[in-house]
């Protein structure tokens, strides 16, 4: 019953510790990707609502108890929030699964990782230190790490719980106050976690959540003159708009803008280990993952073997409802399904062979947004299928012969987020790790339990700045230098 109550209702903003409808009274429908059916509404917020949330955060920062709490006290609140997330794990997972369309077991993992973010940052809050700096005789100089102040954060629909929790956890650990704008397509878990934050002792106004359209509420937050820092996760195109809007007010940004991540299979790779990971890295969340391993670079000597073994795996994959325990769920929306179809049409027009494909379950609702996983190859490394972020369960196989060619292909896109290298040669693995331009390079693996402790971010069109791990605490704080002349 608790899950039904949490999901089927009208959700409102959380501003200054209280639920508030949009000032306009307008709402937005939220539908389940599995069947396209509306199951709740959220507030369609605008400038007035964002302004109210920013004012609440500013008041909490300057006059509330949050800024007077010790780092240890802040950490205890964050740690308790993590425990409350675990206590409400079933509710949050069901909510995330229905909201995003991802299989329930994947949503359960997301909520577990979310709790781990709060555990990690709760423990890290009192372990951020400044440093002393050798300087002229008669002077003492040292640095302090201080909060930016009010942080705005615009988060996407593919991993609202995980991305929301890593921003909230790190931002609160450093003493900031936050205004979060989740995606209108899926962000209910963030609203629920904000409610739990109040139960955990986070003071009113410290964490505010405002829902609405990106071009309305998101744009209002990005251009607001009274925020001190902004984080954004989404497409490069929208990221550019967000950065320009913030830049007008000289506000710093962290941008995570997706990728076209390669996995490199050398001839000596352990295929028994590699291939299950390769498959999971493209079907997780129906391929709607910024770090999805969407390009598979395969050494010429094992090309046919990999095709045979990988095709057999793809042909067993099934897409179905979020609650059907299938290999993958639907895409997030009709628009995303249409976008994916344009790439399928392009591949057909270019005569790129389909090596294997999964299926859509017969009992999957026709009104859902399903896409069967597809394996293409060989894919020309310069075509759109190998260059653009598709955000769907589509894997492009690309052959190579030499290390230098593999590096050239791996680096030959506008993105640089994550890469995987599969080889038994330790020297080669280190050469590849140094040569590939990506924010994370995995050796004989891809992913590490959510990567909570691991700095995450990209090069080039994948954005700038780092989230996760201790690096996020540095990103969401500012250095102040104190110089004392004492003789």
| pLDDT 10s digits, 228-242 | 999 999 999 999 999
pLDDT category, 64, cuts 50, 70, 90?
A: confident
**pLDDT digits 0-9 by tens, 396-453:** 999 999 999 999 999 999 999 999 999 999 999 999 999 999 999 999 999 888 899 9
Among 256, 389, 467, 475, which one carries the catalytic annotation?
Answer: 256
**pLDDT digits 0-9 by tens, 357-397:** 999 999 999 999 999 999 999 999 999 999 999 999 999 99
Q: Which two tokens stand for residue 257?
A: 């803008």
What Cα–Cα distance (Å) separates residue 219 from each residue in 63, 177, 202, 241, 254?
A: 27, 19, 27, 9, 16
Tell me which of 188 and 4 has the higher pLDDT.
188
- Partners of 233 in beta bridges: 256
Best CATH choice for the domain 2-257+464-482 from the list 3.40.605.10, 3.30.465.10, 3.20.20.140, 3.40.50.1360: 3.40.605.10
Q: What is the pLDDT of residue 450?
A: 86
**pLDDT digits 0-9 by tens, 116-152:** 999 999 999 999 999 999 999 999 999 999 999 999 9
Rounded to whole angstroms, how far apart are CA atoms 98 and 95? 5
Rounded to whole angstroms, how far apart are CA atoms 174 and 294? 35
Is the pLDDT confidence value at 62 over 80?
yes
Average of per-residue pLDDT values in the chain: 96
For the chain, the distance separating the N- and C-terminal CA atoms, rounded to the nearest angstrom, is: 70
pLDDT category, 8, cuts 50, 70, 90?
A: low
Contact 28, 213 (CB under 8 A): yes
Is the pLDDT confidence value at 1 over 70?
no
Every domain of the chain and the residues it spans: 2-257+464-482, 262-450
pLDDT category, 5, cuts 50, 70, 90?
A: very low
Fold for the domain defined by 262-450: Aldehyde Dehydrogenase; Chain A, domain 2 (3.40.309)
- Partners of 31 in beta bridges: 38
Q: What is the pLDDT of residue 448?
A: 85
What Cα–Cα distance (Å) separates residue 316 from each residue in 287, 309, 319?
A: 16, 12, 10
Is the pLDDT confidence value at 166 over 80?
yes
Which pairing describes strands 38-43 and 27-31: parallel, antiparallel, or unpaired? Answer: antiparallel
- Tell me whether residue 96 is one of the annotated catalytic residues: no
Burial class (CB in 10 A: 0-12, 13-18, 19+), 171: buried
Q: What is the pLDDT of residue 2?
A: 37
pLDDT category, 3, cuts 50, 70, 90?
A: very low
**Could you tell me the pTM of the whole model?**
0.95
Burial class (CB in 10 A: 0-12, 13-18, 19+), 233: buried
């Amino acid at each position: 019953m608790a899950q039904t109550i949490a999901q089927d209702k009208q959700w409102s903003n959380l501003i200054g510790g209280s639920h508030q409808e949009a000032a306009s009274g307008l709402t937005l429908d939220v539908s389940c990707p599995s069947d396209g059916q509306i199951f709740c509404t959220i507030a369609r917020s605008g400038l007035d609502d964002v302004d109210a949330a920013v004012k609440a955060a500013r008041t909490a920062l300057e006059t509330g108890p949050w800024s007077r709490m010790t780092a240890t006290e802040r950490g205890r609140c964050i740690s308790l929030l993590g425990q409350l997330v675990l206590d409400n794990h079933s509710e949050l997972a069901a909510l995330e699964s229905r909201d995003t369309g991802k299989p329930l077991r994947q949503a359960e993992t997301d909520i577990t990782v979310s709790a781990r973010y709060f555990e990690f940052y709760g423990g890290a809050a009192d372990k951020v230190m400044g440093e002393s700096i050798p300087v002229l005789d008669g002077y003492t100089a040292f640095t302090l790490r201080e909060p930016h102040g009010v942080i705005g954060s615009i988060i996407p629909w593919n991993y609202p719980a995980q991305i929301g929790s890593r921003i909230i956890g790190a931002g609160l650990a450093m003493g900031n106050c936050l205004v979060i704008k989740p995606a209108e397509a899926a962000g209910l878990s963030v609203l629920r976690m904000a409610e739990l934050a109040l139960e955990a002792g986070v003071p009113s106004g410290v964490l505010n959540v405002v829902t609405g359209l990106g071009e309305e509420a998101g744009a209002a937050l990005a251009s607001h003159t009274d925020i001190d820092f902004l984080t954004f996760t989404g497409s490069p195109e929208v990221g550019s708009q967000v950065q320009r809007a913030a830049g007008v007010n000289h506000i710093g940004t962290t941008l995570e803008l997706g990728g076209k991540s390669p996995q490199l299979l050398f001839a000596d790779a352990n295929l028994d280990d590699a291939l299950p990971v390769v498959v999971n890295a493209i079907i997780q969340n129906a391929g709607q993952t910024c770090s999805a391993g969407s390009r598979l670079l395969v050494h010429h000597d094992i090309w046919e073997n990999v095709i045979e073994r990988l095709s057999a795996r793809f042909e067993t994959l099934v897409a179905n409802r979020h609650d059907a325990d299938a290999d993958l769920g639907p895409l997030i929306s009709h628009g995303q399904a249409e976008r994916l179809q344009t790439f399928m049409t392009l591949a057909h027009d270019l005569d790129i062979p389909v090596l294997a494909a999964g299926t859509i379950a017969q009992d999957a609702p026709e009104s859902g947004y399903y896409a069967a996983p597809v394996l293409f190859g060989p894919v020309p490394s310069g075509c759109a299928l190998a260059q653009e972020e598709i955000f769907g369960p589509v894997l492009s196989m690309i052959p190579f012969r030499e290390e230098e060619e593999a590096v050239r292909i791996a680096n030959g896109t506008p993105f640089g987020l994550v890469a995987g290298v599969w080889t038994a040669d330790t020297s080669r693995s280190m050469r590849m790790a140094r040569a590939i331009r990506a924010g994370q390079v995995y050796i004989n693996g891809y992913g590490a339990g959510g990567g909570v402790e691991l700095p995450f971010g990209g090069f080039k069109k994948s954005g700038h700045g780092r989230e996760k791990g201790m690096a996020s605490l540095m990103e969401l704080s500012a250095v102040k230098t104190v110089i004392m002349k004492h003789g």
